[in-house]
Structure 1
């Protein structure tokens, strides 16, 4: 047995040594015993203070709660950075509310001589040795080393009284600081009273103490190598379970001194690690201090990179250095954010109200992968852009989940009176829509981006450049990605990671505007007037909105793939161009971001309903058949997911139909032979937008269905060959992630999926056939085959135009413009007048894919397109998918004589000139 005084000395003395030198006097023992027999916060104080604090403070929980096994015997301790009675009580209240192990109840384990008054560890404790080492952490480390079966978990906790990243010398922050130490009662009461309603608590993932100790002892660092063995020696030779005489033997006692010193160093390192962890968590929640806008502008203008840019500007333009600096400062003032925490709080309350008015809910998916990266990475959010409210919604979700709000690159058209200052104070830094040829502006923007990145500020930008009017992703604009890469190659700080983010709506406020623009009306720029128009629709029902954070893309992985070395650009220059490898890397990053956005798609009830009904004749189906088709789409999407990140609605088919009726997008027509579900009047064009959000998920299945349905039966080898030839164009249009080299395997899996659902039948000799013509499976196959038709019709019409006009007669821009006009005409005359069919961006994507794959060549001097018979070879495949009637219509529409082409090109040029004049 261990004498009682040794138990107290070993586990309760406020010293770091796990053994106290027996030469110390007895008075010290009395002081130590008195100190730790008295609870720092007794139960009565805890109860009364808790009740008072519960009234004054309404904390918001950030992040996910740690999960503990109810039968787990592990001891739980909460780790806070600074000693604070109020923080202790606050954590205790939270543990009670969420049924976690209590924080202010004593922790006792007699088998291992653990007897602590509370389950909170303060890393900076006034009773610690030199106020540096935590007594409780020291005792727990000692116990863990002495008892291999002892299990202790540490749960780091962050508490923020407000979330303003103010400067350290701010008087306001000094008054608001949560580092309350006796006897600063006034400061404590002030903080509770003022910030009690703006308090945030986050419980971080639990860490096993023994694992942390092991990692610290054997992390390979020279600092630890010298004493790791000593600590282990202590663990094996000086356990309190050994005979008591060992503790009275002078030789043994002196042999343990090095181990005691080693354990002191171990506690210091553990405490340092926990401090760094909590500091990083705090930084990820608050962000860096960029509050002093004037100083930041001055630092930008007088940085070595901008000094060089100013010198270049004076040489190029002949103005004085002072004038050039004044121009540069003007540019900086145009763009630099002016972070204001009061404005953030206003936005928080306003947006909380707004989302409850607009949406039934905001569903967030895969956010934890962002939280895991935020502490050690420079986060670049790259969402798709579908609505005016995208950036507000994304920033709101990030803020509410406890991470720092990203700085959003916004067009300077939003920098208008009233709105501009609010956005600048909350999330936005403004950049011009076009600044090509303005070297000094480019230099200032690059240096500002570099400053944000090196200060570890999360950033957000929309690489599509503008809002998608069709619901498909737009081709990426690579300027901001190039600036991000440029910054990282100038100076590597935190590793950069891109977070592709999918945003999906069930109704969209700008729907009517988008349809008009696709039909030829001038595009409405993002402006205050546009936002005010949106605001008039607040009373309408918009369903749910979905945010899904895609798989992260690490810049370092791309640098390794393209052999781009770190720090390969001079740190003091902004004008060093990216070399060919880095430029190719930027292109690849852009494509991968778009692919990962689509991989994170949410197949919500409205998009699924849109896909089903718009594929049916006259956009109407018998209700029972509609339910079956919805269930089929859900089944095939779940059996073979487009991606692990793709989310499929779990709403039942009947509930999906009822939901669409509630949103007034579809309607039920009663009929004695069975109710009919049809698209509501004037809603078909709008529903095509939501169908296009998820078209990529089902497009290959639709292509396979179309090949089988149009031909009746087809050999697998023929099917593979046709899909392989046309797949690159679908991949370019819809940013499909399936690699071309593994396409055959992907097609085989999808064919097996269709076979399992009875959509197709496999005959002998690898021949695929349609099911019985009178079966429900045949009707389902026909509906599934429809979505791919529009894409193939566009391709064939473009190829027909090129073939009829001949090689070397049209430029790429003329081909796109003529196809856009032909698409409009075809849609009105023969189709359902759904405007996304003739979206100019889709024809541009197809022509660019033809150029990239070398089916088309562009003459350098004239820009005219040349080609050979391979164009006819691609068009040849259309007969396997399109009906003869549709092919004839497309041929007729594409047959333009020279006079018609000349007239069309002249009119298009005049229209563009008028548009350019309005912009200027």
Structure 2
């Protein structure tokens, strides 16, 4: 609390504002009667004491948190810098001054004097709305600076907009509290300022936005005015005449007349310039630009005003779109409109978020503690690209889904960095007692896992999504639909994506931008559960007891976690590419279908999102270590060889990056090994001839998960290494031909972004990279060869060639099964089920039980690629797969990569007779029925 005897001093004593200044020598008062009018106070030392004392008191009462990056200034000492705030406030003045001192920025409450340009300002703060100004619509200081810039072409002035938030609770619509604490009063009262300091002082946030050049702002404003033809020629002529008179007057008063502007045209396109009275419209325009800018920044930090949940549900149900859906439901089911409306309302109550700032604050404090317990650090990459878009775009975060921690972690990072927390589409399986209401009050809106065929539920969800988007609420959903059990990205689910596009085509407010987000862990709580589920163990339902079990794992063994924000994807660019017009769907309907162009656009966006997530991958120490050791025989290497292989992978990834967004760990190879031992993922076996590094007991399956996080970064290098290693010598053109034939399947599985039409150039660059590192020897006549047998480079080539083999083995096993069973005998689901069983058997017998071999999603992806490329055809009614000889042609290419003994094993495993197939299909069907029964 602030002592009573200080309150009057702090909030009534003069401070340095647009109109007043306190300096050690004197204090001045500037009015609108002249550019600079001064008045000397006799108690300047007392005012200095006041500023120091009030600053100390405010520093005790208020602990602001800095959001975003500090502004970067050029080193030109001639540049004048001013901080721009929206509303006049004594407490804000002192707060900004304290912040500039703390962060070593140009001071805010120190006079800015530039005698060469007749500038003598008493502080470096501009208030856009100042109650003491003669014209309350214009800032006196901004007016004077505009005049100075127009008169002196060499003058440089930078404006730094600043946002100050006393509390971060989104405001409630029609809230009495909102009226009490509104920042739009012309003269904030003592009560308001005391409330901010006393109640919100510990929840105060400050963000310095990027500096803006005042001259550039002026030029843009005048250019905009010209384009809109706001001024007639006669008005401009009169303005020119007035301005020239003003310039002549100033030049006559100047000792060096040549330094003045002799002609209005020397200031390009200036229709309104030079004097404080002559540039009113220009200043008004600039002030409006800066106000809109700060308003947008504030909205991006707080989010939209909140509506009471009950009112929001009612608005939703009585919207024209849902009224139509209710009538259609009643007509189809034979019920009354009232009954259909009650049903629709129950659906809305299931899903609608109930945002509570107190719950969000509680989560923030709890998660701040939790992350310090779970992780050594949370590293965030490329966040500034999100901040740059937040004010002007509807943000749709589309992260990969690796763990239940994802949505808490991503929301925490966004909130901590000063942006509005997104609403997260969560499966209703999380709506469990205790946890469910907490998540609903913080980030979640719940949707059913499956609602195919339920037209009314679909309509309510689409309308709710539309409501969120048109209210500029940031949204987050997991495009994979569920958590990846293997560490690879899953094929995208297009439902939520289609709803987002549907909303934008009904009504365009802010343009939509998708933010692909990569999340990478070094250990995950669900690791053992994932492996069990891949092996066929039933998925455990979420419950409070399950949450408590996870709570027992809270200890410092999870390393670091990485969030990397990929290159944003603008919906408008896709609409232009696919020729989908804006506002092309009825605004009052949810059941209008997307046409073929819009549907194709949705599919393309889905694939691009996955590719951009992978482009933003972080090659962590654990993922790199996993890739190296799991490629070695028996998952063990001599420590020196292990270091060299890690260094090789780092060099390959750094010298020819997968993408500019990809982040490579900067740990040394030895630090990476020590880090893996610390996390108990690997162990060092002492030996007289040199220590051995091997995967710790029962950790191989888990490490395969982290290897798969970055497999796409190295897969083409591995593929090329395997082609050379398995053949000894191969012609470059032959190598490229085989690679181009099999590339679409790798691209589909790992969401590689390299386009097929430019693949040859990409392959040549990667081959050259391998040649540079000595892993491949280039001979005459474009022949490529392995290094000398048993050399260090030869051993490294063999290790690098291993990762791609597992993917190609799955392909060959699937193709062998299809070829042996013949065209027209199996459905797609049957092929996936049989491949899953064969993969399990193969894994146990030959692959150390690594779950990659039996992940259903991988077989589904491969069959999808075969169908898309027309190698397979699926009958619409039965789902039976048909194919021709080309299936064998693809399998023929496997002999160039796979070892003969492995191909023989795969053929034997895939050889099932009719009785075995019938038995397997029956057992799988019974198992699915039991699983479905448990869910019911």
Q: What is the Cα deviation at residue 73 of structure 1?
A: 2.3
Partner residue of 1:420?
436
CA 884–37 in structure 1, closer or farther in 2 if over 3 Å, else same: farther
CA distance in 1, matches of 2:808, 2:917: 23
Q: What is the Cα deviation at residue 41 of structure 1?
A: 11
Partner residue of 1:26?
none
Q: What is the Cα deviation at residue 602 of structure 1?
A: 0.2
Partner residue of 2:252?
243
Partner residue of 2:31?
14
Q: What is the Cα deviation at residue 570 of structure 1?
A: 0.5
CA 466–264 in structure 1, closer or farther in 2 if over 3 Å, else same: same
CA 343–245 in structure 1, closer or farther in 2 if over 3 Å, else same: closer
Q: What is the Cα deviation at residue 172 of structure 1?
A: 2.7
Partner residue of 1:22?
none
Partner residue of 1:106?
111
CA distance in 2, matches of 1:889, 1:104: 79
Q: 1:140 aligns with which of 138, 141, 145?
A: 145
Partner residue of 1:123?
128
Q: Is the 8 A contact 2:148 2:274 kept in 1?
A: no
Q: What is the Cα deviation at residue 16 of structure 1?
A: 8.9
Q: 2:501 aligns with which of 462, 479, 485?
A: 485
Q: 1:365 aligns with which of 374, 378, 381?
A: 381
CA distance in 2, matches of 1:396, 1:880: 49
1:44 aligns with 2:49: yes
**Which segment drifts farther, 89-98 or 187-196?**
187-196
CA 861–191 in structure 1, closer or farther in 2 if over 3 Å, else same: closer
1:659 aligns with 2:668: no
Q: Is the 8 A contact 2:326 2:340 kept in 1?
A: yes
1:879-894 equivalences in 2 (<5 Å) = 879-894=895-910
Q: TM-score, normalising length from structure 1?
A: 0.94
CA distance in 2, matches of 1:262, 1:830: 85
CA distance in 1, matches of 2:43, 2:297: 33
Q: Is the 8 A contact 2:480 2:493 kept in 1?
A: yes
Aligned pair count?
893
Q: What is the Cα deviation at residue 259 of structure 1?
A: 6.9
Cα deviation 1:71-103 (Å, max 9, x = unaligned) = 532111000000001011111111001000000
Q: Is the 8 A contact 1:230 1:262 kept in 2?
A: no
CA 332–863 in structure 1, closer or farther in 2 if over 3 Å, else same: same
CA distance in 2, matches of 1:885, 1:256: 84
Q: What is the Cα deviation at residue 236 of structure 1?
A: 6.0
Q: What is the Cα deviation at residue 212 of structure 1?
A: 0.6
Q: What is the Cα deviation at residue 539 of structure 1?
A: 1.4
CA 161–707 in structure 1, closer or farther in 2 if over 3 Å, else same: same
Cα deviation 1:865-917 (Å, max 9, x = unaligned) = 11110000000011101111001100100000000000000000000111111
Q: What is the Cα deviation at residue 12 of structure 1?
A: 7.7
Q: Is the 8 A contact 1:623 1:677 kept in 2?
A: yes
Partner residue of 2:861?
845
CA distance in 2, matches of 1:636, 1:257: 58
Q: What is the Cα deviation at residue 35 of structure 1?
A: 9.5
SS in 2 for 1:382: strand
1:584 aligns with 2:600: yes
Cα deviation 1:709-755 (Å, max 9, x = unaligned) = 00001001110111111000000000000000000000000000001
SS in 1 for 2:161: strand
Q: Is the 8 A contact 2:147 2:273 kept in 1?
A: no
Partner residue of 1:207?
212
1:411 aligns with 2:427: yes
Q: 1:833 aligns with which of 823, 836, 849?
A: 849
Partner residue of 2:806?
790
CA distance in 1, matches of 2:143, 2:688: 80
Q: What is the Cα deviation at residue 836 of structure 1?
A: 2.0
1:69 aligns with 2:85: no
Partner residue of 1:151?
156
CA distance in 2, matches of 1:768, 1:383: 40
Q: TM-score, normalising length from structure 2?
A: 0.93
CA 337–317 in structure 1, closer or farther in 2 if over 3 Å, else same: same
Partner residue of 1:398?
414
CA distance in 1, matches of 2:438, 2:670: 44
**Which segment drifts farther, 230-239 or 717-726?**
230-239
Partner residue of 1:4?
none
Partner residue of 1:773?
789
Partner residue of 1:451?
467
Q: Is the 8 A contact 2:326 2:456 kept in 1?
A: yes
Q: 2:355 aligns with which of 336, 339, 343?
A: 339
Unaligned runs of 5+ in 1: 1-10, 19-28, 247-251
1:463-542 equivalences in 2 (<5 Å) = 463-542=479-558
CA distance in 2, matches of 1:913, 1:70: 72
1:244-323 equivalences in 2 (<5 Å) = 244=253, 262-323=278-339
CA distance in 1, matches of 2:554, 2:296: 39
CA distance in 2, matches of 1:435, 1:16: 70
Cα deviation 1:615-651 (Å, max 9, x = unaligned) = 0001011111111100100101011100010000011
CA distance in 1, matches of 2:835, 2:272: 86
Q: What is the Cα deviation at residue 527 of structure 1?
A: 4.0
Partner residue of 1:610?
626
Q: What is the Cα deviation at residue 114 of structure 1?
A: 1.1
Q: What is the Cα deviation at residue 693 of structure 1?
A: 0.1
Unaligned runs of 5+ in 2: 1-27, 256-262, 264-270
CA distance in 1, matches of 2:133, 2:519: 50
1:745-784 equivalences in 2 (<5 Å) = 745-784=761-800
Q: Is the 8 A contact 1:771 1:777 kept in 2?
A: yes
1:348 aligns with 2:364: yes
1:843-882 equivalences in 2 (<5 Å) = 843-882=859-898
CA distance in 2, matches of 1:233, 1:40: 46
Q: Is the 8 A contact 2:239 2:272 kept in 1?
A: no
CA distance in 2, matches of 1:644, 1:864: 43
Partner residue of 1:195?
200
